């Protein structure tokens, strides 16, 4: 059962939860949850008694920021980041196959905790919830930062869950920013092309697996099935009354309404995961008709920028997708793939054991464009030899500095899939594409055996002997 309260209990085994009381929604929660400003506490933070709000109306931040928490979320019996990625990538085809075979179709139930409280029509007031202001220059309070936006394809009925930022415009309206190419946007564009309003439901407090799967490009259909396959049981959903969309029965807060065609409202700025503010601009919005919430609801949320970007599950999932994408494309001897935790898919590292001339370029091109996990919003792909740990930035930069020749080892791809969130795209424009660099930081295959030897002590017996001597001399 994907229930956030159940998760909070289980997470005691991976650091637990720290309850913090008496902070203000206006920047205080954001600062307290920011690791750069406040330090590396591995616990999730649960903010209660928020100034101006009744006790019990809570905000949870940082539920999956450590490898241990990520492993618990994905049901992986490992605790070190690289091992969690390795185990996840092995599980991924199993999860995909189970999802494709409809083994974990969501289970429609008639009731669940989300129905404990329902505000309809004139009673809808989104300011009832203690939505934090996450960044100083944000153009509003973003209720959706660790959320899942539920939409449906009007042509084939496929349900999508995507994490897209959601601002509270007023008591009854939220702004919906979705980048080009993302499924939620394709869905509302299809409705709007027929002159119809698009039904939208948004969960803004839920078990971390729900928002984590919503925030990665699972291209194999219904995200609910993947969540079911990972957790080992179908996700319980309730058919939301006015939109008909399936909402998680155990969510904490769900907003439902309609996104009308031909209407926009200015949205932003917002402090984005890139570490920069995305500019204000016109974006669609949702006219909210219903709000469902549990008694004493828990909103989930997080800031972005330096010190935030704390959630490591999307990076683990997307690293796994890049690794498997390389293998599926027939690239042999892949040893690791890493989507960075500081610049996301703008910094992708792949390690291989070179087998033939051209192997490293092949890996670089596929890693850059072969999966949506890295094709969207990417920038640099670095290919390294198997002796380099792709998750260790010092080792990677050492390989770039010492094994690549700028004139011959950097390939450029132009006109690639980017987004208005890309800080390097100058406005005004409607051309949201960028260039990509593939840096081949592998030793040149043609003379790999003559390449200078790496300076290291390989005589491990001698190392042990010296250690013993050093210890004895204490
Ligand atoms: C914390 C977080 C916030 C995100 N915010 C947005 C957003 O505001 N708009 C957007 O288009 N994508 C956003 N994304 C990325 C999408 O959620 C991601 O690309 C996802 O795969 C899209 O799902 P879809 O392919 O089903 O549309 C965010 C991802 C994360 C992890």
In this model, does residue 307 exceed pLDDT 60?
A: no
- In the block, tokens 């792949």 appear at 350
Q: Using one digit for the tens of pLDDT, what is the confidence trace for 239-274?
A: 999 999 999 999 999 999 999 999 999 999 999 999
Nearest ligand 1 atom to the CA of 419 is 11
- The CA distance from 205 to 129, in Å, is 11
Q: Is residue 470 part of a domain?
A: no
Average pLDDT over residues 354-379: 96
- The CA distance from 300 to 292, in Å, is 15
pLDDT at position 221, please?
64
Same domain, 319 and 266: no
- From the CB of 179, is ligand 1 less than 6 Å away? yes
Q: How far, in whole angstroms, is CA 36 from its chain's centroid?
A: 19
Same domain, 368 and 404: yes
Cβ contacts of residue 160 below 8 Å, gap of 6+? 150, 151, 152, 153, 183, 184, 187, 222, 223
Same domain, 124 and 197: yes
- From the CB of 166, is ligand 1 less than 6 Å away? no
Same domain, 270 and 248: yes
Residue of minimum CA distance from atom 31 in ligand 1: 215
Domain boundary among 244, 274, 300: 300
184, 215, 281, 284, best to mutate for ligand 1 pocket (most atoms within 8 Å of CB): 215
Same domain, 296 and 149: yes
Banded pLDDT at 310 (limits 50, 70, 90): confident
- The CA distance from 349 to 327, in Å, is 15
Q: Do residues 358 and 366 touch, judged by C-beta distance below 8 A?
A: no
- From the CB of 298, is ligand 1 less than 6 Å away? no
Nearest ligand 1 atom to the CA of 217 is 21
Residue of minimum CA distance from atom 13 in ligand 1: 164
Q: Is residue 466 part of a domain?
A: no
Distance 421 CA to ligand 1 centre (A): 11
Q: How far, in whole angstroms, is CA 468 from its chain's centroid?
A: 46
In this model, does residue 342 exceed pLDDT 90?
A: no
Tokens of residue 377, six digits: 């919003």
| Number of domains forming the structure of the chain | 2
Distance 291 CA to ligand 1 centre (A): 22
Same domain, 8 and 108: yes
Same domain, 322 and 288: no
pLDDT at position 219, please?
66
Same domain, 399 and 374: yes
Q: Is residue 261 part of a domain?
A: yes
Same domain, 142 and 225: yes
Rg of the chain (C-alpha set): 23
Banded pLDDT at 109 (limits 50, 70, 90): very high
- From the CB of 162, is ligand 1 less than 6 Å away? yes
pLDDT at position 37, please?
84
CATH code for position 245: 2.30.110.10
- From the CB of 184, is ligand 1 less than 6 Å away? yes
Domain boundary among 277, 300, 323: 300
- From the CB of 245, is ligand 1 less than 6 Å away? no
Q: Which residues of 350-385 are buried (b: 16+ CB within 10 A; e: fewer)?
A: bbbebeeeebbbbbbbbbbbbbbbbbbbbbbbbbbb
CATH code for position 443: 3.40.1670.10
Q: Is residue 472 part of a domain?
A: no
Residue 327, CA atoms < 13 Å, CB-side half-sphere = 14
Q: Is residue 455 part of a domain?
A: no
Same domain, 170 and 32: yes
Same domain, 192 and 333: no
Q: Using one digit for the tens of pLDDT, what is the confidence trace for 198-208?
A: 999 999 999 99
Q: Is residue 469 part of a domain?
A: no
Distance 178 CA to ligand 1 centre (A): 7
DSSP string of 326-372, one letter each residue: HHHTT---EEEEEE-SSSGGGEEEEEE---STTHHHHHHHHHHHSSH
Domain of 277, in residue numbers: 4-300
Q: Is residue 462 part of a domain?
A: no
Q: Using one digit for the tens of pLDDT, what is the confidence trace for 8-49?
A: 999 999 999 999 999 999 999 999 999 888 888 999 999 999
Distance 162 CA to ligand 1 centre (A): 6
Q: Using one digit for the tens of pLDDT, what is the confidence trace for 283-298?
A: 999 999 999 999 999 9
- In the block, tokens 């799967």 appear at 213
Nearest ligand 1 atom to the CA of 314 is 31
> What's the pTM?
0.95
Same domain, 342 and 239: no
CA dihedral sign, ordered 310, 312, 315, 319:
positive
Angle of helix 67-74 relative to helix 81-100, nearest 10 degrees? 20
């Amino acid at each position: 059962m994907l229930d956030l309260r159940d998760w909070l209990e289980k997470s005691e085994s991976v650091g637990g939860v720290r309850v913090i009381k008496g902070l203000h929604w206006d920047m205080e929660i954001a600062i307290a949850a920011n690791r750069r400003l406040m330090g590396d506490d591995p616990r999730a933070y649960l903010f209660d008694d928020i100034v101006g709000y009744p006790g019990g109306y809570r905000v949870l931040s940082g539920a999956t920021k450590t490898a241990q928490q990520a492993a618990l979320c994905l049901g992986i019996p490992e605790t070190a980041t690289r091992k969690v990625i390795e185990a996840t990538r092995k599980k991924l085809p199993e999860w995909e196959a189970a999802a494709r075979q409809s083994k974990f179709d969501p289970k429609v139930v008639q009731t669940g905790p989300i129905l404990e409280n329902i505000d309809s029509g004139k009673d809808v007031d989104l300011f009832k919830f203690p939505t934090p202001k996450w960044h100083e220059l944000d153009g509003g309070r973003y209720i959706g930062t660790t959320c899942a936006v539920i939409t449906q394809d009007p042509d084939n009925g496929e349900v999508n869950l995507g994490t897209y930022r959601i601002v509270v415009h007023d008591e009854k309206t939220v702004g919906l920013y979705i980048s080009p190419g993302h499924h939620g946007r394709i869905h509302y564009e299809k409705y709007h092309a027929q002159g119809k309003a698009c039904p939208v439901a948004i969960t803004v407090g839920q078990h971390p697996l729900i928002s984590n799967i919503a925030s990665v490009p699972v291209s194999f259909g219904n995200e609910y099935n993947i969540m079911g396959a990972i957790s080992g049981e179908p996700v319980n959903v309730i058919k939301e009354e006015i939109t008909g969309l399936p909402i998680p029965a155990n969510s904490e807060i769900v907003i439902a309404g309609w996104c009308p065609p031909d209407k926009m409202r200015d949205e932003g700025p917002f402090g984005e995961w890139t570490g920069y503010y995305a500019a204000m601009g016109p974006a669609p919005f949702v006219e909210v008709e219903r709000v469902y919430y549990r008694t004493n609801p828990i909103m989930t949320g997080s800031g972005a920028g330096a010190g935030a970007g704390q959630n490591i599950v999307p990076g683990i999932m997307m690293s796994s997708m890049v690794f498997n994408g390389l293998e599926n494309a027939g690239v042999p001897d892949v040893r690791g793939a890493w989507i960075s935790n500081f610049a996301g898919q703008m910094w992708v590292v792949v390690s291989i054991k070179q087998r033939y001339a051209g192997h490293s370029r092949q890996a670089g091109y596929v890693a850059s464009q072969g999966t949506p996990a890295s094709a969207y919003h990417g920038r640099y792909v670095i290919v390294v030899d198997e002796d380099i740990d792709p998750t260790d930035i010092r080792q990677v930069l050492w390989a770039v500095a010492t094994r690549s020749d700028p004139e011959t080892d950097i390939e450029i791809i132009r006109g690639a899939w980017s987004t208005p969130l890309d800080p390097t795209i100058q406005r005004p424009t409607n051309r949201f594409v960028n260039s990509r660099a593939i840096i081949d930081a592998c030793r040149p295959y043609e003379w790999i055996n003559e390449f200078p030897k790496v300076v290291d002590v390989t005589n491990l017996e001698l190392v042990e002997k010296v250690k013993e001597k050093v210890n004895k001399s204490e």
